[in-house]
Structure 1
Amino acid sequence: MTYRWMLRTLDDPGVVAQLQPRLNDLPTALTRALALRDVNSFEAARDFFRASRSDLHNPLDMADMPRAAERVAAAIADGETVLVYGDYDVDGTTATAMCTHFLHQQDVPASFFIPDRYEDGYGLCKRGIDAAVERGASLIIALDCGITAHAEADYAREQGLDLIICDHHTPKDTLPNAYAVLDPKRDDCAYPFTELSGAGVGFKLLQATQRVRGASEDRVFDYLDLLGISIASDIVPMYGENRILMQEGLAALQSTERVGLRALAKAADLDLTSVKTTGNIVFTIGPRINAAGRMAHARKAVDLMLESDPATARDQAEELEQLNKERRSLDERIRKEATKQAERQITARTAHALVLYDPDWHLGVIGIVASRIVEQFYKPTIMLTRNGDAVKGSARSISGVNIYRALTDCEDVLTQFGGHDYAAGMSLPEANVSKLRDRFNEAIAERITPELLTPTIKVDAHVDLETIGTADGRFWAVLQQFGPFGPSNPRPVFHLGPCRVAKSPRTVGRDDAHLKFTVAPADTDAPQIDVIGFGQGDKLDLLRESRRSGTPIELVAKVDENTWRGQTSIQLKLRDVRLYDGDSSLRAASAQAAAQ
């Protein structure tokens, strides 16, 4: 795939020169990366690098929160039976385990209900409300769902149940008629931070409940390990409260005493003490928790997180490990089938977007596959399959295209839909699949531009190899403090070059998919830094040509570290590489910006 390299622009180009002396002459590349994250003063830098629990907002500032917290406090005081209702993804299941465990700790007879992906679908359902009635509950706490559940909220009220909704998805014009609706995205909500995960909203409810009760909030912070898994897995923006909670969540996860999480890590061959980044969660813990809801039932994941017996937890974790292996196999088969469909669709029509349908695809993995199809073809994509009498699907988008808004243009051919800017879910009659394909394509065509259709690698700054490889290690030491990384705070991408390929490049991995080589400055022997390019084995000939002809290269990469046989060293994670033609616009633009 061909990429555009684009230097990210600063609102005030002169801020780098102004800020750098105040940060003890921090390397220009890092100062620029800070400014791109709206860190444009010494005070802002101090807050960025030293953010703490004391910077969290008052949970009672959230709309409906005082009413909700007082209701939960009353349920605790009176020993009411409570049903915790959660979604079946990682965010929903971690939130469910957190809230259920908290209520048990207060001696509340609480139970949980997770909808079945296939029988119930997403969100609040009548069967879950009926379960609350059967169990004698008087209060339902819905987590990571419910913001559009108008009919279900009315049904709960008819059954004499109080319903508290804790959600973080975009509301519609009216809110459900629930006892309380907690969602920082409400238009009338003055809460200062709008990007909490679903579990984050639930966490705030528990905090507020303790405040109303006059009890210690320390017990709520015992759930930071679960909350951290939620924040990382739900890919919410990593700034403000999310960044603080994620930082503390990583530390909590490293030392967690939750036997279910320890068993899950062991089954995945993951050393929890080494979990230092969100990526460790996204690629190991998250998929295994998700596998329960995708391949079987999500209650298996909640049971594991609530389990206190190590032997039982070990068996449960092994079951999730097996389910995840099955999911990966299914994922690969469906990806190949979807790829063929996409290629036919692109050949047969002017496809601004892809709508792919097979009634036999597994509902639990089409969202994952949709993401892979977007990566491959760089087009907004909907994957659909049949579920009973209906067709259900998952949508994924590209940068700059709000897929939720595009689906609103197709609302009349959908039974229901919901989601975020870049991901959404929907259901529709099978007879409307062809209509959706046309309407969604039109909706995307109205929003797309030629620039958006060419994937762009956004670069924070140019940096020299000598700066990265300084003996004092300052560059890497400061860069690590930029984390935790995620949306709105991605790991910085740097431009390097001209460089020399210092050692013979080679491909590694299955089917020679990955690329390994070493770079050095074009005119010296040191420093030499290793480079790994995952999925970029096709660039091998370019690197060989560079060595054969003596032509330098330029590259865009992230700076990371690699540990091998107990030895840790700096490593570049390659995003793209080109032969250097002697005129790097990125290097020049970065140098000009630094001089202003």
Structure 2
Amino acid sequence: MPMSPRWIERELDDPDVVPRLCEDLNDLPEALARALAARGIDSLERARRFFRPERADLHDPFEMAGMKRAAARLDEALEAGERVLVYGDYDVDGTTATALMTRFLRSEGVETDYFVPDRFAHGYGLCRAGLDRAKEHGAALVVALDCGVTATDEAAYARELGLDLLICDHHTPATDDDGQPVLPDALAVLDPKRSDGDYPFASLCGCGVGAKLVQATLQQRGASPEEAIEAVLAGFGDLLALAIAADIVPVHGENRIFLREGLEKMRSGEASPGLRALANAAGRLDRADRAVDLLLADNEDDARPLAETLDQINTRRRTLDRETEQEAARRAERQINARSPHALVLADEDWHQGVVGIVASSIVERFYRPTVLLTAADAAEGEDLLKGSARSVSGVNVYDALAGCSELLEQFGGHDYAAGLTLRRANLDAFRERFDDAVGAQVTSPEVLHPVHKVDAPLALEDIGSLKERFWTVLKQFAPHGPSNAKPVFHARNLALARSPRRVGSDGKHLKFTVRPGDGGDGPVSGDATMDAIAFGLGDKFDVLEQSRSDGQPLELLFSVEENTWNGRTSLQLKVRDVRLQEDGAKDNE
């Protein structure tokens, strides 16, 4: 069964940073100073770059290994009017990268086609079918985005066809026994994770690497760095924002700048028609070619029917997600009860390839174990193959764990926390054991496999104030949020319910309630210190609230602070992450 998360306050390398930040930032509230310090912000200058990220903080694209050669070749194609094929990937990062590069090349007058592999017919990454398409269409150059860094055989095939290949990837390259990258024999391989490169920011998404190539190409063609950056952000900032948010890359450094600028573009109504329509299409993209067509749409009339089609597809997909997750959860419970593994490897040949990644993430969230979900590969790939997705928890690098099983795998690739893999059915049992051992080698203590709520700082309700007060004015500038910059989570103690809690939602899985500082009685308290709270997915905590209300036992709350608009009125509310009866069982003022 799922475990209750531990509450752990984030450790600081230097606790003295907190009072220093409070002083340097004009009496900044201590809870916010501590949240900054937990994000590695330990000086006034770093705080400035965090709250006011500037384009000047973006890195020179030519610092990336291979960029000079790649930009020169793309410039050559523009000058000569060569035909180019843009080769993408079928996830959001890959489709946005495809749209970005295709839009750029077409805006420069280049005849440009694109190819995105079908996840079922072609699988992940560079494939011969896409390279054959380039040759058939008369392309001289292929620009591969969000894939290709491990495609050694496919790069050799491109050379056989007489195609120049530029690879723009952000996945981890393979390495030899000496730790040196093993790269495809392409004209240029751009990847900020190359161990033989010096690029200062390794966490770009695939679309970000493509944007860097566009920036470098514009500079190659005579634009100043400032002009090139303006062209990239004005033309493609919305696509970058979508890719960064969807690919779950760390939201600091260049990603924070790209995301912030892109969100501003979207809020101002300057996003492309396709992206505006996409924002209204619920769920996960299914058909990658339709997604790229949508992102390339020039007007709302073209974009709307594409978005509606995707919405219909994803309505059906969500049903499939739910059914697969229910079955996977049952199997996970059986594995845990039978052998208490470090990792879960779940396989079913009837599961849909398009949902195994999403469901693997859900299983990790529920059971807090690195998880692999596998299903039958497409018949064209081989009838004896299984393929799927791996997801992990903090402290376990799933890519390294798969690398420890490489002789049992036909193919694998990915990141620290997410990866894809293919293996033969005959190797499934051996892989399950080997993967469990590889994960176990990284589990340095039992706590690694125990879910955790990380707390930024203690915070009294009285210190939050209203929408117009300084706490919220500063806190909202922590956005945009994502990995490495999650919404700050605060811990409040000695709380009491101000009125009866309610179950909400069609299935009663959510809670709404109002809390106030506990005072040992029912005396008056400041209205500003009484706050509404919403607890999504915490319906099972209703009895905790009722016990506190009936027994007078104080509550502890983990929460973030957010705006809530209802009936035209906007106020602050607490978004509850967890709630429990106060551990010491006593009121703080007794």
Q: TM-score, normalised by structure 1?
A: 0.92
Preserved CA contact (<8 Å) 1:498 1:580:
yes
2:399 to 376, 401, 404: 404
* Change beyond 3 A, Cα 1:60–1:502: same
Judge conservation of contact 2:126–2:154 (CA < 8 Å) in 1.
Answer: yes
Query: Contact conserved, 2:349 with 2:374, CA < 8 A, in 1?
Result: yes
Corresponding residue to 1:151 among 129, 150, 153: 153
**Structure 2 residue aligned with 1:503:** 499
SS in 1 for 2:85: strand
Q: Secondary structure at the match of 1:364?
A: helix
The equivalent residue for 1:272 is: none
Q: Is the 8 A contact 2:238 2:271 kept in 1?
A: no
Q: Confirm or deny that 1:368 pairs with 2:358.
A: yes
User: Are 1:140 and 1:164, in contact at CA under 8 Å, matched by a contact in 2?
Assistant: yes
Distance in 2 of aligned mates of 1:7 and 1:480: 21
> Partner residue of 1:253?
266
What residue is the counterpart of 1:333 in the other structure? 323
| Residues 584/199 of structure 1: CA separation in 2 closer, same or farther (3 Å cut) | farther
Pick from 306, 317, 325: which aligns with 2:307? 317
Distance in 2, Cα, partners of 1:583 & 1:544: 15
Alpha-carbon displacement from aligned partner over 1:144-188 (angstroms, at most 9, x marks no partner): 000000011111011111100000011112111100010011112
Equivalent AA in structure 1 for residue 311 of structure 2: E
> Residue 61 of structure 1: CA displacement?
1.2
User: How much does 1:581 deviate?
Assistant: 4.0
Classify 1:438/1:97 alpha carbon distance in 2 versus 1 (closer, same or farther; 3 Å). same
Find the aligned partners of 2:387 and 2:4 in 1 and give their Cα distance: 33
- Measured in 2, the distance between the counterparts of 1:340 and 1:402 equals 25
Identify the structure with bigger relative contact order (alpha carbons < 8 Å, sequence gap 6+): 1
Does the CA-based 8 Å contact 2:321-2:358 persist in structure 1?
yes
1:493 to 482, 489, 496: 489
The answer as to whether partners of 2:18 and 2:33 remain within 8 angstroms in 1 is yes
Residue 209 (structure 2) pairs with residue 201 (structure 1): yes
Which string of whole-angstrom CA distances, capped at 9 and with x for unpartnered residues, describes residues 519-552 of structure 1? 1111252321111111100000110110111111
C-alpha deviations, 1:245-304, integer Å up to 9, x for none? 1000101122234221222334x4xxxxxxxxxxxxxxx5xx44xx22xxxx31000001
Contact 1:256 1:262 in 2 (8 A): no
For residue 394 of structure 1, what is the aligned residue in structure 2? 389
- 1:417 equivalent to 2:412? Answer yes
Unmatched 5+ residue regions in structure 1?
269-283, 588-596
Of 545, 553, 558, 1:551 maps to 553
- The alignment status of 1:188 with 2:196, answered yes or no, reads yes
CA distance in 2, matches of 1:368, 1:257: 27
Q: What SS class does the counterpart of residue 360 from structure 1 fall into?
A: coil
Cα distance, 1:92–1:520 mapped onto 2, change above 3 Å: same
Give secondary structure in 2 for the equivalent of 1:398: coil
Which residues of 2 match residues 430-449 of structure 1 at below 5 A? 430-448=425-443, 449=445
Question: 2:129 corresponds to which letter in structure 1?
Answer: R
Residue of structure 2 equivalent to 1:262:
276
1:28-427 to 2 correspondences below 5 Å: 28-173=30-175, 174-215=182-223, 216-217=227-228, 218-221=230-233, 222-254=235-267, 255-266=269-280, 268=281, 287-288=283-284, 291-292=285-286, 297-387=287-377, 388=379, 389=383, 390-427=385-422
Give the superposition deviation at 1:584: 9.6
Partner of 1:277: none
Tell which deviates more after alignment, 34-43 or 357-366: 34-43
Scaled by the length of structure 2, the TM-score of the pair is: 0.93
> What's the secondary structure of 2:56's corresponding residue?
helix
State how far apart, in whole Å, the 2-side matches of 1:257 and 1:128 are: 30
Aligned-residue offset at 1:64: 0.7
SS class of match (1:45): helix
Q: 1:68 is paired with a residue of what secondary structure?
A: helix
In 2, the alpha carbon distance for the partners of 1:93 and 1:432 equals 33
**Closer/same/farther in 2, CA of residues 258 and 584 from structure 1, 3 Å limit:** farther
Paired residue type of 1:358: D
Partner letter of residue 262 of structure 1? R
Cα deviation 1:190-247 (Å, max 9, x = unaligned): 1111110100000000000000001342332210001100001000001000001100
Q: CA deviation at 1:566?
A: 1.9
Q: CA deviation at 1:442?
A: 1.6
Checking the alignment, whether the CA contact within 8 Å between 2:515 and 2:530 is kept in structure 1 is yes
**What SS is found at the alignment partner of 1:511?**
coil
CA deviations 1:38-81 (Å, max 9, x no partner) are 21111221121111112111111111101100110110011000
Q: Distance in 2 between matches of 1:361 and 1:205?
A: 38
Matches within 5 A, 1:553-592: 553-582=555-584
Please tell me the root mean square deviation across aligned C-alpha atoms, in Å: 1.6
Corresponding residue for 2:525? 525
Could you say what secondary structure the match of 1:437 adopts? helix
The offset of 1:466, in angstroms, is: 0.6
Given that 1:29 and 1:460 are in contact with CA atoms closer than 8 Å, whether structure 2 keeps it comes out as yes
What is the letter of the counterpart of residue 566 of structure 2? W
- Which whole-Å CA distance do the structure 2 matches of 1:205 and 1:137 have between them? 19
1:515 aligns with 2:515: no
Question: Residue 306 of structure 2 aligns to which amino acid in structure 1?
Answer: Q
- Give the structure 2 partner of residue 274 of structure 1: none
Counterpart AA for 2:93: D
| CA–CA separation in structure 2 for the residues paired with 1:257 and 1:430 | 46
Number of corresponding residues: 563
Give the partner amino acid of 1:414.
L
